[in-house]
Amino acid sequence: MNSFNTDEDTKKILQKYNHCRVKIYTFNQSRYPRINKESLLPVAKDVSYSGENTEAWYPPGHGDIYASFYNSGLLDTFIGEGKEYIFVSNIDNLGATVDLYILNHLMNPPNGKRCEFVMEVTNKTRADVKGGTLTQYEGKLRLVEIAQVPKAHVDEFKSVSKFKIFNTNNLWISLAAVKRLQEQNAIDMEIIVNAKTLDGGLNVIQLETAVGAAIKSFENSLGINVPRSRFLPVKTTSDLLLVMSNLYSLNKKKTLDLLNCLINCLV
């Protein structure tokens, strides 16, 4: 899933794989207008703002994947091809690979009841205190993000002893369930208010959603605690240099542990 900011660059990169025996599909997410924090008017319509027109718009977070995937036609295409699940992950998470053990659990659950939504979580360290966590409310799993936590409880939320796991954003989702919920307009996600300041100094508001927040809308949802090796985000040059160095290996767990330790120290 691309935004209007990344679509053209992605297409240029994908040209290198035209001769490979693999199908790579892309689709664009929605484009929403930024809101002037003072006037509450869309920036694109605000005569007081004279910046670049592209800054007046934003992609509304990865929670938009359900509607955009459905509207792109790819959801029906994959269902028509007999596919049953999608694996969703952040593009910067190099540890997010398809785990056949998890897929086998989805296809052949011990209790015979298939899960429509599985979220991979992993043990929290002090480098992950801002990560969302799973809670249970009214018989449903729910994702709680730090942006939803009242200021008086933020330190409690960041505690690695009270909230021991966090969301890796590695998700396994039933295609049939996405289609059903989209057609029923039944995917419920909390709105996250994200305050930004544009280059010209204008304070704006972005309304976003998180893909994992939809977990409560699916039936028989599940959280799976996975090894830390499945969460390896590369967000900075330092992270990339560590992964490219001889400290990193796909085969040696101790080397992975050392790498994660070094990343945590850098953070």
Instruction: List the catalytic residue out of 11, 196, 235, 252.
Output: 235
Q: Is 196 a catalytic residue?
A: no
In contact, 196 and 57? CB cutoff 8 Å: no
CA 174 to chain centre: 16
CA distance between the termini of the chain? 28
From residue 160, alpha-carbon distances to 155, 172, 247 in Å are: 10, 25, 27
Per-residue exposure over 165-182, b if at least 16 CB sit within 10 Å of its own CB, e if not: bbbbbbbbbbbebbbebb
Q: How many Å apart are CA 47 and CA 36, to the nearest integer?
A: 11
CB < 8 Å & 24+ apart, contacts of 45-53: 49/200, 49/202, 50/200, 51/198, 51/199, 51/200, 51/202
Q: How many Å apart are CA 100 and CA 24, to the nearest integer?
A: 20
Residues classed as catalytic = 235
